[in-house]
Copies of this chain bind each other. A is one copy, B any other.
Amino acid sequence: MKLWGGRFAGNTAEEMAAFGDSLSFDRRLADADVRGSLAWAEAITAAGVLTAEEGACIREGLLRIRRELAEGSFAFQPSDEDIHTAIERRLGELVGPVAGKLHTGRSRNDQVATDLRLYVLDRIPGLHRAVRGVQEALVAQAEAHPGVALPGYTHGQPAQPLLLAHWFLSHFWPLERDLERLSEIRRRVAICPLGSAALAGTPLPIDREAVARALGFDRASDNSLDAVADRDFVVELLAWAALTASHLSRLAADLVTWSAPEYGFVELDDAYATGSSIMPQKKNPDSLELIRARAGRLLGNLVALLTVLKGLPSGYNKDLQEDKEPLFDSLDTLELALKVAAGAVGTLSVRPERMAAALDDLLLATELADYLAGRGVPFRKAHDLVGQAVRLALQRGVGLRDLSLEHYRSLSPAFGADLYEVLDVDAALARRRVHGGTAPSAVAAQLQRARECLAAESG
């Protein structure tokens, strides 16, 4: 069904039809499209364009279409080039020529932009919940292992002891920022372009603010030319998804590493692992690897749209049709990745004994330097002296505890017999009790803050 036959003599080329097809992906806008049309029918009835009877007739037709879509009985035709055409065709079948009046004063341009925003508004709560799902799993794990310590790493090298709960929570806050961002983006999605028509505004005396509110938007857009071409909200969502996915990829990277027997800190539940077709002993962290990889796909989607937008003239251009597939793919992919991450984290087995075994006393070298600093040695000097002790310990294949007091004192007379007391994991943890630190007391306070974030929701 073509909407623009009059001035055209020839038909669309076959490969062109395939190239321009969007029904394969925009059919998920069906419900939004019907809602948009219901609001428009009401608005133009109020404006006197439709009689009350015509308005009611169109309304009935649209509601029936909505039911058909919901039930799966809506029959698409080969001639339906997109979801809007399909619904318009069906409306004509159901209510006759009056259907053609629905499109008075409205253009495909403002219609599509409205539909896409409605669709996104529908998706946001699910995305929010999916992020919360991962956060809840992280908090639950943090709560379940209150006293467990393990090495913290920087540069992939053991650095200092950490509480495991601190590590779990270190992945909570990035997701909290993601939710903060999502709620900000939502405010810019909730602006209604309907009534902008093709580019210049509808000539009908419509109350655009009323239409906007009826559809659940916060307000109407400010400039019709901007409104039909504004895809900022799609770019923002794609960037949001890419950054959220990058957070998940970092979480996954840690867990892949820790699942290797060389670490053995955690074990994935069988539900989130797979085996090998050839090696019977394998248990592969496929879920985590896929989460890690999806970050690439989501970045690709963002690049796709920003490249499309580069240098595009004002107003609507067909190029903008390329907004939907990356958006749908990013939202679907991310939502599923979040669910898998929640499941994988939530069912993870922790191996405290392997973590404890990895708490080599070299992780306490900083404590020793701080000890010297506390005795008046400038920190830079203290660092150097302890570095020499470390070198000796490594050469001998022993720990810092195993070097003699004489040896320490040969490095610096500031060392006293109490130096061995600071070489203690629990003491090292407990000292880091500042806000955000890894001491048990600080982590407990942090956990409380995290719980409050989760509770804010249901409040």
Contacts and interface: CB of A to CB of B under 8 A. Distances in A.
Given A20-B290, A160-B199, A379-B103, A279 B15 contact: no
Contacts of A206: 434
A116 interface: no
B313 A4 contact: no
A20 B386 CA distance: 25
A396 to B, nearest CB: 13
A275 B2 contact: yes
A100 B296 contact: no
A159 B253 contact: no
Contacts of A73: none
Interface string A2-35: 1111111111110110111000000000000000
12 contacts: A4-B387, A16-B344, A18-B336, A20-B274, A161-B200, A172-B223, A195-B437, A201-B436, A261-B360, A292-B310, A292-B311, A300-B300
B12 A274 contact: yes
Contacts of A385: 6
Interface string A281-302: 1111111011011111101111
Interface stretch (A64-72, A121-129, A317-325): A317-325
A152 interface: yes
Interface string A376-396: 001111011111111100100
Interface string A238-268: 0100110010011111101101111100000
Chain A interface SS verdict (over half) = helix
Contact of A155 (B278, B286, B432): B286
Closest 6 pairs (CB-CB, A-B): A6-B387, A4-B275, A201-B437, A100-B378, A300-B304, A10-B270
A320 to B, nearest CB: 8
A322 B293 contact: yes
A222 interface: yes
Contacts of A326: 297, 300
A410 interface: no
Given A203-B370, A271-B16, A383-B6, A279 B314 contact: no
Given A153-B313, A153-B315, A235-B246, 18 more contacts: A3-B275, A5-B384, A6-B385, A7-B275, A16-B286, A19-B340, A49-B373, A159-B276, A166-B200, A166-B223, A203-B367, A246-B306, A246-B309, A278-B369, A280-B384, A281-B390, A299-B310, A300-B301
A269 interface: yes
A18 to B, nearest CB: 6
Interface stretch (A105-113, A401-409, A413-421): A105-113
Nearest to A15: B339
A394 B280 CA distance: 12
Contacts of A319: 289-290, 292-293
Contact of A153 (B314, B384, B436): B314
